[in-house]
Amino acid sequence: MVDDAKAEDDQAENLAELSANLMDLSTRAQEVFREFLSQQSAQAVVTPPDPLNIGQSFLELTARMLAEPSRIAETQLAMWQDYMRLWQSATLKMLGEETEDVITEEPGDKRFQDEDWRDNQIFNFIKQSYLITSKYTHAAVNTVEDLPAKDRAKIDFYTKQFVDAMSPTNFVMTNPAVLRTTVEEKGENLVRGFENLLEDLDRGHGQLNIRMTDLDAFEVGENVAITPGKVVFRNRMFELIQYAPTTETVYKTPLLIFPPWINKFYILDLTAKKSFVRWAVEQGITVFMVSWVNPDGSYADVTFENYILEGLIPALEAVEKATGERAVHTVGYCVAGTMMSAGLAYLEAKGEADRVKSTTFFTAQIDFTEAGDLQIFVDEKQLEAIDAQMEEKGYLDASIMATTFNMLRSNDLIWSFVVSNYLMGKEPFPFDLLYWNCDATRLPRAMHQYYLKNMYLENRLVKPGELSIGDVPIDLTTVRTPMYIQAGRTDHIAPYASVYKMTHHFKGPMKFVLAGSGHIAGVVNPPSAKKYQYWLNSKKPKNVEEWVAGAEEHPGSWWPDWKSWLARRSGKKVPARIPGDGKLKALEDAPGSYVKVKSS
């Protein structure tokens, strides 16, 4: 009797503590919400009521649905039949019978890993109900015929955003792991999660800026971007880093890397084991890296042309001064690859094509007819809305671009952290890749608008003479520079089908390689990791699927294949070059100053 009374007292005390924590959360949440509304009113800017321009697409969808009621009825009937099967299965399970799930999550879906999603009848029912609803929500959209391709892509994307947001994993009462933790910790997890939420709102100045990792665990130049070298050149657009050799001799032709200016360069120099830069240096290559400036409002008028005339061209000239070599190998990653392609055509027109001995493209696009999900964010009305956001500051806030990319993988890069940080009350785990992902850069207003309009919206780069750099018309078909073109099999930013289109526009010798994984892991895959694979095919059919069908799979990293390709074009070995020993003197230690400028 005494034990029973004590157990009842403990239970009452636990419930009282849980209730007090929840009441405190409710009170504080109301105060924060009022403050949030006040901040939004103070910071409000005049923007269109539909800045993403999705309303018209959904109106078009609705009209088509109403015009084809039989298709909707078929979808509703199929969904109802699956729900009946689910009810039947759930009933049999309650009676002790073994039954197969009516529907299961897709391979790789990490949301339902907790055992209760499989073993607990209630949560298993909730999961399957959600998956059925998700399936037929998408099906209802896809049954509509004759929608413009761009409208269909936009509707599919935002439907997925809605469906992902409504996942039962994102709510306390329908997530078994969160519910279990809340009971065990008497709501303390929610209190900690609320503190995390407040911290993220404060860091985002009233906008939610989700912490994906421990931001205090890394420091540029200390435990990321640590390959030794010197800054040997600087102008208003970039710093040039020359890395210190680790071999007694190096290949005669140096390598100049242009990373994307929408991110910081050290994705290619994260840690010693993951660093492409360090690995390339160890292969006996003299490596130079461009570290782009993180622009402020004074760069508002900087455009795509400036990145070539004040970036690419001076970098080539600086490498020549540092090494005495006029011809260099170049790498263009993502948008810097797009820039590199225009730069090659510019050099060709100026009679200076001999400056670049070869070019390697990392997940870069020049033909944007199949440019993937990012096209969803680009039409005339959305460009007007984005321009209005940039008008006052003269640049696009880093957080806006980061959110756009995170939406492309919302379950992994948004909702998983909402659950972990705010519902479970956990502190983010230190992860160098996510630290880099959070260390975003601002984008100049003029350049951003130019790039979206001329590349994504109008696809003018591949139309000879449509674009000019310094009054020089750009024609990619004149370029005959040898190229190594890398794409990622699961890349959602630069789909491999889009990257492959490069082989249709340039005229020189080209080697296309398809790497396992996506936009980052497909590139940053050191041989020592023994991960993924890559595919090669000596033929270049017009259709990329034909290329894939005839390609041979190779295990591991594609880096050694690239090194062999590059070595054949790199000349004899010469004594290793020490940064600062040439005509360009060392200005400061790598990784330099520009990369350390934070966006907020």
Residues designated catalytic: 334
C-alpha distances (whole Å) from 203 to each of 76, 189, 332, 398, 494 are 45, 21, 33, 13, 30
Q: What phi and psi values does residue 153 have, to the nearest 5 degrees? A: -65, -40
For 305-355, strand residue ranges (E) read 328-333
Closest by CA position to 331, among listed 220, 547, 517, 481: 481
Q: What is the DSSP letter of 411?
A: I
d(CA 263, CA 261): 5
d(CA 136, CA 46): 37
d(CA 160, CA 414): 13
Do 534 and 554 meet the contact criterion of CB atoms below 8 Å apart?
yes
d(CA 519, CA 492): 7
**3-state DSSP assignment of residue 426:** coil
Q: What phi and psi values does residue 596 have, to the nearest 5 degrees? A: -90, -5
Give the full edge-to-edge strand order of the sheet including 533-536: 552-555, 533-536, 510-515, 483-488, 356-362, 328-333, 255-258, 287-292, 238-243, 229-234, 588-589
| Structure tokens, 559 | 């880096």
d(CA 302, CA 581): 33
Long-range contacts formed by 531-539: CB under 8 A, 24+ apart? 531/556, 531/557, 532/556, 532/557, 534/558, 534/561, 535/489, 536/511, 536/561, 537/512
